[in-house]
A and B are shown apart, each in its own frame.
Chain A
């Protein structure tokens, strides 16, 4: 059985829909993770980091909708993966930086 590139709704396995939903929930999860980092930064007394993170979380939430609706030619797999994985790496850097600041701050 062949599936045409633009043949959404043709494939009984719903591969295109499942992939679009996987993209949607991945970018949305990245948005949620960024929001968590924003709240953590606000509670730790780092307002600039908190505001920047919250704005980026909004951008990602919007991107989740755009990615979900865009044709695959517009948002290629690589672009979506780099966006999501790049956000994860950025959040990890933020988390490590926060942990290091806390460790150095608590040192005598």
Chain B
């Protein structure tokens, strides 16, 4: 792969080294778009976590079922996973921009879909069970 000369790579103080140590500087607009995408993914993860925190405190205040606490925990874990994969996705995309390679497949999207589907199924099952009781 193309890497900058050792001298210029040493001068670049930016972190992480796994990104800024390789390739050449891309069009700033692409880097900026990559950062905005990652930030949007972090906000998506935050929405899941906030929903989980809201659900668990609602269940505590209204003295609701234990199952809701479990669903809230699942939402929190899914949100954290989305935020972490946003970081990984930013790094991989920035690397491929610098190296002029093809874009990597999105990593956060499968995590988000899996999390939302799991939460929806659990909530639906809980609603059915509590309606029958």
Contact = CB atoms under 8 A, between A and B. Distances in A.
Interface of A: 2-5, 11, 13, 15-16, 18-19, 22-23, 25-26, 29-30, 33, 36-37, 40, 43-44, 76-82, 84-85, 87-89, 91-96, 98-100, 102-103, 106-107
Contact of B15 (A36, A76, A88): A76
Among A36, A76, A88, A103, max chain B CB count under 10 A is at: A88
Interface residues of B, number: 46
Contacts, number: 146
Given A85-B83, A88-B45, A16 B76 contact: no
* Secondary structure dominating the interface of B: helix
A97 B34 CA distance: 33
A26 B77 CA distance: 19
Contacts of B61: 43-44
Interface of B: 14-16, 19, 27-29, 31-36, 38-40, 42-43, 45-46, 49-50, 52-54, 56-57, 59-61, 66, 69-70, 72-73, 75-77, 79-80, 83-84, 86-87, 90, 94
